Every structure is written in structure tokens, then in C-alpha cells.
């Protein structure tokens, strides 16, 4: 009788399990980039897999939040808009390694961690916006402090990761003293306080406040395509984009990327999302929707971005730039970069 009851109970449970719908799959992203910029790609992932993607936008404090949550953190995937921030995640111990043949095949070795702790997903060049009627077709980063640009340059805060990455790359090439002098020259060239966002540089060129601005490449695509509205499209119509280079080098290209969280409750889904983001389909969406440079060598660059000309990324490894980031940030404060005094 006991065996019969056991058999009936097991059979009943199996039948109940078959009748119940499968638990909905989901994956949780903590991201320091605006969710709207990647939402079309996440929507495509959900449509293809049925996995719901939940995003939490954190302008700052990503590491601190994940550490505070500890093993109970709901975070599955951690996304950043800057290479340095991506490496900081690994250093803080909030990531875990991923072994994926698909990711290794899609992403060049130079754009992923050798131990699988982080993966680049898209690139953006640090470019120069210039007034269309300005007689300027080429420029080096070193020339940004030239006296010919006195009072004509617009740039966002020197402490923003986009700029500290540029300043650190400059220091890696030229040393601390030369970098400080260069930053002082850029400060002298400012047409207004170093503030706002990259699109504001195009806005202020259109308004005649400045002649050139330092900005990321993909913002121009978002403006010129009309994705930012008619007003921003009008700003883009007033500027041209120049791909600067370092003297004897190439253009600085920073990356956005992601890592699987150390205590990811939905690890398999997080890896599946990572693999999707590196796929040709998603890389095409990155190029078309966000106007970023794909990390996949087989994906095409959006026509608006391709029109800038051939991108020749600087050969200096971003890993080699990292040790200079903290000192570059200190120099920004030492020269009062964000304080307008012209």
C-alpha cells in the first residue's frame, strides 16, 4: 500500500507539473548607459527568445550598489559606457568569468577579457565637431590647445569618463607635465564653461558660441538621423565631423561593454543575452539604432558614421591607458578645467 501511495503521489506531482505553465524567464541589467539607447536591441532579444529584460539605470554608484546587495543582488548583467568603468567592476570583485565559444568567435581578443570577465559590445570615437563653414578638415588631439582656437572650443566636464579617457590616453603618450600644459591650453580655448553633454557642443556651434567641440561620434548620428527630434537635427546640419588622431597614431575609440554579475540569479539568461548582443543581428542594430561602431568585424557601420571616413583606431591598448586615469582626473581639478574664466 505504501508503494502504491508513493507511486500515486509521484504521478500526481508529475501531472501537476505538466499542467502548470513554465516560469517566465527574465534577466536583470544594471546599466550606466541610458536604457533608451539599447532598448531596441533588448526588445529584439525578448522577441526572439521570450526572455523579459528588466533594466535599472544607475548614473553612478554601480559598484557600490552591487556590493551593498551582496549575494542577494538581483543583478545579472552589468553594463557600462566606459572601458575604465568596466575594468573597475572586475577589480571590485562583482563579476564572474564566462566561457563562451560564441563570444570568443564574435569579439576580437583585444576587446574582451582573457579570463572572460568582460566583453566589449560597441565602440565610439572621440571626435571633433566643427562649424560647416570652418576651414578645418583635419586635426590632431594635440592641436586642441592651439592658440588659433582661443575662445572657440566647447567641451563637457573634464571629469566625465569620456574626457578622462582621452586625457589619460594623452598622458600615456606624452607624460604628466605635457598633459597638464595641454589641459591648460584647452581650458584657455573654451568658449564657455566645460559642462552639459556632447550634443550641447553641436547646439552651441549652431548658435555661434563655439567653432569646434569635442564629442562622441554616435551622438552626431542620433542628431543627424532625426532620432533626437527636429531641433537636434538642425544642430547636426550646422556641423561636420572630423576624426582626430594622435600625432603618429590613430583615433581614440572607447567602448561600452558588459559583464555577468558575480551572484547573477539568472546566469544562463545573462550569458544568452551577452551572446545575442555580440551577434551579427544585434551588432547591426547597434550600428543602425545607436550609430556606434560594431565590435564585430563582419558588421557594417551605419552610413551616417561611415561618411566620416575610414576609422583608424589608435594602436595604444586601452589597458595601457588605465593606470593614467586617476592622475588625469586629478589634473583636471588642478587646472580648474571646469571653471570658466575667459
What are the residue boundaries of the structural domains of the chain, listed by start? 7-122+253-306, 125-251+310-334
DSSP code for 161: H
Does the domain at residues 125-251+310-334 carry the CATH identifier 3.40.190.10? yes
State the CB neighbour count (10 A cutoff) for residue 56: 13
Q: What is the DSSP string of 230-287?
A: HHHHHHHHTEEEE--B-TTS-B-EEEEEEEEETT-TTHHHHHHHHHHHTSHHHHHHII
Q: Binding-site residues, please?
A: 218-219
pLDDT of res. 342: 66
For residue 316, give every residue at least 6 positions away whose Cβ sits within 8 Å of its Cβ, in sequence order, or none. 169, 172, 173, 246, 249
- Which parts are annotated binding residues for Fe cation? 218-219
CATH fold of 7-122+253-306 reads D-Maltodextrin-Binding Protein; domain 2 (3.40.190)
Through-space distance between the first and last CA atoms of the chain, rounded to whole angstroms = 94
pLDDT at 299 (0 to 100):
86
pLDDT of res. 82? 86
Compute the distance between CA of residue 105 and CA of residue 304 in angstroms, rounded to an integer: 27
Confidence of residue 331 (pLDDT cuts 50, 70, 90): very high
Q: Greatest CA separation found in the chain?
A: 97
Distance CA 84, CA 77 (A): 17
Dihedral of alpha carbons 159, 165, 168, 174, sign: negative
For residues 278-295, average pLDDT: 90
**pLDDT of 23 above 60:** no
* Confidence at 96, pLDDT banded by 50, 70, 90: very high
* Residue 19 clears pLDDT 70, i.e. is over it: no
List helix spans (H) across 135-228.
161-174, 176-189, 198-206, 217-224
Range picked from 9-23, 32-46, 119-133, 306-320 for highest mean pLDDT? 119-133
Residue 16 pLDDT greater than 50, yes or no: no
pLDDT value of residue 21:
39
The string of pLDDT tens digits covering residues 145-188 is 999 999 999 999 999 989 999 999 999 999 999 999 999 999 99
Amino acid at each position: 500500500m505504501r508503494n502504491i501511495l508513493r507511486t500515486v503521489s509521484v504521478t500526481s506531482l508529475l501531472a501537476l507539473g505538466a499542467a502548470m505553465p513554465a516560469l517566465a524567464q527574465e534577466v536583470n541589467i544594471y546599466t550606466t548607459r541610458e536604457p533608451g539607447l539599447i532598448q531596441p536591441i533588448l526588445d529584439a532579444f525578448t522577441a526572439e527568445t521570450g526572455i523579459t529584460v528588466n533594466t535599472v539605470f544607475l548614473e553612478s554608484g554601480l559598484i557600490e550598489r552591487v556590493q551593498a546587495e551582496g549575494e542577494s543582488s538581483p543583478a545579472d548583467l552589468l553594463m557600462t559606457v566606459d572601458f575604465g568603468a568596466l575594468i573597475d567592476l572586475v577589480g571590485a570583485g562583482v563579476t564572474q568569468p564566462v566561457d563562451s565559444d560564441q563570444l570568443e568567435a564574435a569579439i576580437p581578443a583585444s576587446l574582451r577579457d582573457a579570463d572572460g570577465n568582460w566583453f566589449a559590445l560597441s565602440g565610439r570615437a572621440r571626435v571633433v565637431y566643427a562649424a560647416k563653414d570652418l576651414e578645418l578638415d583635419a586635426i590632431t588631439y594635440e592641436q586642441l590647445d592651439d592658440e588659433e582656437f582661443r575662445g572657440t572650443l566647447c567641451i563637457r566636464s573634464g571629469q566625465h569618463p569620456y574626457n578622462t579617457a582621452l586625457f589619460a590616453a594623452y598622458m600615456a603618450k606624452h607624460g604628466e607635465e605635457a598633459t597638464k600644459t595641454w589641459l591648460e591650453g584647452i581650458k584657455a580655448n573654451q568658449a564657455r564653461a566645460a559642462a552639459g553633454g556632447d550634443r550641447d557642443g553641436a547646439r552651441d556651434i549652431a548658435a555661434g558660441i563655439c567653432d569646434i567641440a569635442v564629442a562622441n561620434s554616435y551622438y552626431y548620428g542620433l542628431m543627424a538621423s532625426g532620432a533626437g527630434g527636429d531641433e537636434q537635427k538642425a544642430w547636426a546640419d550646422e556641423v561636420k565631423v572630423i576624426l582626430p588622431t594622435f600625432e603618429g597614431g590613430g583615433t581614440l575609440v572607447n567602448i561600452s561593454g558588459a559583464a555577468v554579475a558575480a551572484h547573477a540569479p539568472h546566469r544562463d539568461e545573462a550569458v544568452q543575452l551577452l551572446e545575442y548582443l555580440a551577434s551579427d543581428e544585434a551588432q547591426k542594430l547597434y550600428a543602425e539604432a545607436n550609430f556606434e561602431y560594431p565590435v564585430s568585424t563582419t558588421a557594417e557601420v551605419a552610413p551616417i558614421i561611415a561618411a566620416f571616413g575610414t576609422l583608424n583606431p589608435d594602436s595604444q591598448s586601452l589597458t595601457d591607458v588605465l593606470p593614467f586615469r586617476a592622475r588625469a582626473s586629478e589634473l583636471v581639478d588642478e587646472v580648474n578645467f571646469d571653471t570658466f574664466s575667459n
